[in-house]
């Protein structure tokens, strides 16, 4: 039996970070807040320092072999993940729950919409947010199930990257986005190629503005969108989607 058949559809998301306060606004606003209120999602941040083994709550150390910066230690990360993994190791109505551990890393596989769909099928996602010069490589090799990057650039840490992944995954959970059509019509192919979405317009139908050239111009909504002919509108949208 799968989750849809059982009617048990929530997802649990755990975020391991040394800066849990960075997530306060992100998690308490808009659709994510509503999804949590509706019990479709439960998202919790966890301060990595809770699992340190010294009185100074040290989470990092100098890299072996020398080099710039500090590296996050494996011990507190391992302890954190181990304490979070059992949260969903149980069965309800013979439903098996699946957990996935994700390390946000600049050298990880680039995140795509296909990955968002894949991860949305899990019951629990545990995000490990790196910081400083990096994370002890043994975390990637022996603790995390996969490494994810959100692009070919470097951030201060994995927190913002985890927010991107969480938002992309969460909106695919049934009930989070009220209009299912918004998800069905998204222009992303299964070949991981991001397609351009068709142009969209709203009121007013015409507005006079100073455009980029500096000239005043009346900007109008394409007439086809005002026609009420849904077949022609759909054809226009396909034509204007690359």
| Number of domains comprising the chain | 2
- With a pLDDT cut of 90, the percent of the chain lying above it is 64
Sign, Cα dihedral of 229, 232, 235, 241: negative
> In whole angstroms, what is the distance from residue 88 CA to residue 118 CA?
19
6 band by pLDDT with thresholds 50, 70 and 90? very low
Is the domain of 121 the same as that of 235?
no
* 177/205 same-domain check: no
What per-residue confidence (pLDDT) applies to 196?
57
Are 228 and 122 in the same domain?
no
Q: Look at residue 93 in the predicted model and tell me its pLDDT.
A: 56
CATH number at residue 155: 3.40.1280.10
Cα separation, 73 vs 130, in Å, equals 10
pLDDT at 28 exceeding the cut of 50: yes
* Whether 40 and 149 share a structural domain: yes
The answer as to whether 1 is a domain residue is no
Q: Do residues 104 and 174 both lie within one domain? A: yes
Domain range for 58: 9-181
The per-residue pLDDT for 200 is 86
Whether residue 64 lies inside any domain: the answer is: yes
For residue 235, the model assigns a pLDDT of 93
| Stretch 215-225: mean pLDDT | 93
Mean confidence (pLDDT) of the chain: 86
**Would you give the DSSP letter of residue 207?**
E
**In this structure, is residue 38 part of a structural domain?**
yes
In this predicted structure, what is the pLDDT of residue 67?
81
Q: Which two tokens stand for residue 28?
A: 């308490």
What does the pLDDT read at residue 194? 44
Same domain, 19 and 51: yes
Concatenated DSSP letters for 11-63? EEEEEEES-GGGGHHHHHSHHHHHHHHTTSEEEEEEEGGGG-SSTT---EEPP
* pLDDT tens by residue, 63-113: 888 888 899 999 999 999 999 985 544 555 566 778 999 999 999 999 999
113 in the same domain as 83? yes
Confidence at residue 52, expressed as pLDDT on a 0 to 100 scale? 93
Same structural domain for residues 205 and 177?
Answer: no
Same domain, 164 and 204: no
- Give the tens place of pLDDT for each residue, 158-215: 999 999 999 999 999 998 987 665 565 554 544 443 445 788 888 899 999 988 899 9
- What's the whole-model pTM score? 0.81
Residues 208, 101 share a domain: no
Q: What is the pLDDT of residue 1?
A: 44
The per-residue pLDDT for 151 is 95
Residues 139 and 233 in one domain: no
The model's confidence at residue 4, banded by pLDDT at 50, 70 and 90, is very low
């Amino acid at each position: 039996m799968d989750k849809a058949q059982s009617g048990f559809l929530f997802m649990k998301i755990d975020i391991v970070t040394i800066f849990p306060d960075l997530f306060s606004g992100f998690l308490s606003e808009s659709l994510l807040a509503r999804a949590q209120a509706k019990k479709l999602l439960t998202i919790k941040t966890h301060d990595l320092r809770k699992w340190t083994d010294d009185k100074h709550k040290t989470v990092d150390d100098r890299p072996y072999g020398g080099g710039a910066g500090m590296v996050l230690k494996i011990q507190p990360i391992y302890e954190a993940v181990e304490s979070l993994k059992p949260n969903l190791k149980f069965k309800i109505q013979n439903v098996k729950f699946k957990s996935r551990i994700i390390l946000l890393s600049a050298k990880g596989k680039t995140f795509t919409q296909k990955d968002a769909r894949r991860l949305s099928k899990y019951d629990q996602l545990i995000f490990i947010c790196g910081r400083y010069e990096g994370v002890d490589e043994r975390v990637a090799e022996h603790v995390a199930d996969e490494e994810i990057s959100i692009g070919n650039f470097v951030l201060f840490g994995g927190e913002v990257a985890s927010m991107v992944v969480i938002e992309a995954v969460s909106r695919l959970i049934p009930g989070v986005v009220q209009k299912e059509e918004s998800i069905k019509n998204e222009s992303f192919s299964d070949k991981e190629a991001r397609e351009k979405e068709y142009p969209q317009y709203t009121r007013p139908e015409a507005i006079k503005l100073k455009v980029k050239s500096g000239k005043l111009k009346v900007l109008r909504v394409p007439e086809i969108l005002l026609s009420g002919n849904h077949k022609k509108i759909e054809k226009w949208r396909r034509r204007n989607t690359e």
